[in-house]
Amino acid sequence: MLEARELSKSYGAVKALDTVSFRAVGGEVIAIVGDNGAGKSTLLKVLSGAITHDTGQLRVGGELVDFRSPHDAEQVGIEAVYQDLALVNTLDVGSNIFLGREIPRKGMAGRIGLIDRRAMRREGREALRDLLGVEFPTMRRTVEMLSGGQRQAVAIVRSASRLEQRGRGVILLDEPTAALGVAQRQRVGMLIKRLASKGHLVVIVSHDLPTVFELASRIFVMRLGRLVTELHANDSDLSTLVGLITGAIEPTDITKVVADDDATASSDINRSSRGTK
C-alpha cells in the first residue's frame, strides 16, 4: 500500500536521500535503521509530506501521490511523529493533540467554528491514558512546561489517535521511544503491535536495535542516504545488523540472504561478520 521508487533528495551537496525504493503493506511493522545522518528522518519527512523529494515516485494504495504539505499526506491516511516532535510549545496539551482537527461544539455553535475545549481536554486525557498509560494531572499546561517524555507521549498520542479514527492508514514514528521511561516504552511497543494488527502500516525509525528486532518484521538499513539493504527480523541477528549499520559488513554479502529465506545463509553472514572484524 506504500511504495517508494527511486526517491532522491539533496540539501546542496549532501544527498540526504539517494534513489531509495521500497514497498510495504498494511499490517506490517517495518523499521528503518542507520547511523546518524543516514537519511532516516529525511525519508520519513518525504513520506509524510513535510518536505518534498527532488526526484522519484511515491504511491499510496497504488495511486501516485504528490504531497505538497503534511495536510495532503493526512488526507490519504499518513500520520507522523517527528524526531523533533513538532509540538506547539505555547499551546496546551489538549490543543496540541487536536490541532488541525479540533472537536467542534455541538449544534449550531460547532457549525460556525466554535470548538469544545473541555471535550478536547477530556478526550486527550483519555487517549493518553488508554494508548500509553500516561496520566496527565492537568491538560491545561502548555507543552513547553512538560518533560521530554511527556512531550513525546503527547506527540505519539496525537498521531496514533488520529490514525485510530481511520479504517486503514500509515503511521511514521521517528525515534518514538528515545525519551520514554521503561514502562512507557513497553506501552509504545504494545501500541505499535495493536496498530499493525488493525491493518495499519507502522514505520519506525530507531537506534534501539533490540526493540527493532522485537517489533519489526522487516528492517531497512540506510547508509549515506541510500537504502543499502533489507533484513527479515526473524532470520537475522543483532550483530549482523550492527555490522551493516557501521559498514563492517557489506550489503552485497546479504542480498542473496533476503532473496532466499535461508537460515544457513544468515549464519554465513554471522561468520563473515566475525571475519571482517
Partner 1 sequence: MATADTTKVVEADDAVSAPVRALQIGRDYGIGGFFFLLLLIFSLASPTFLSGPNLLGILTAASVVSLFALAEALVVIAGAIDLSVVPIAALVGVIVALSLNAGIPVWLAVLIGLGVGFLCGLLNASVIEFMNMSSLIATLATLTTLTGVVLLITNGKPIFGVTALAPLGQGRTLGVQNPILVMIATYALVGIVMSQTKFGNRLLAVGGNAEAARRAGVRRRFYVFAPFVACGVISAGAGIVVLGRLGSAQPTFANSILFDAITAVALAGVLLSGGRGSILKVLLGSLIVATIANGLVLLRVSSFWTYVTTGLLLAVAVWADGAVSRAIERTSLSTEHRKEAARA
Residues near partner 1 (CB under 8 A) are 48, 50, 69-71, 74, 80, 82, 86-92, 95-96, 99-102, 104, 113-115, 117, 136-138, 140-142, 144-145, 147, 158
* Measured distance CA(55)–CA(88) in Å, rounded: 31
* Measured distance CA(92)–CA(98) in Å, rounded: 10
**Which of residues 179 and 209 has its CB atom nearest to partner 1 in the complex?**
179
Least distance (Å) from partner 1 to the CB of residue 122? 13
Least distance (Å) from ligand ATP to the CB of residue 19? 15
Q: According to CB under 6 A, which one of 2, 7, 16, 156 is a site residue for ligand ATP?
A: 16
Per-residue binder mask for ligand ATP (CB under 6 A), 54-93, x = binder: -----------------------------x----------
Binding status of residue 40 toward ligand ATP by CB under 6 A: yes
Q: Which long-range contacts (CB under 8 A, 24 or more apart) does 240-249 make?
A: 240/266, 240/269, 240/270, 240/273, 241/33, 241/209, 241/212, 241/213, 242/209, 243/273, 243/276, 243/277, 245/33, 245/34, 245/35, 245/221, 246/35, 247/223, 248/273, 248/276, 248/277, 249/273, 249/276
**Which of residues 36 and 165 has its CB atom nearest to ligand ATP in the complex?**
36
Binding site for ligand ATP (CB under 6 A): 11, 14, 16, 34, 36-42, 83
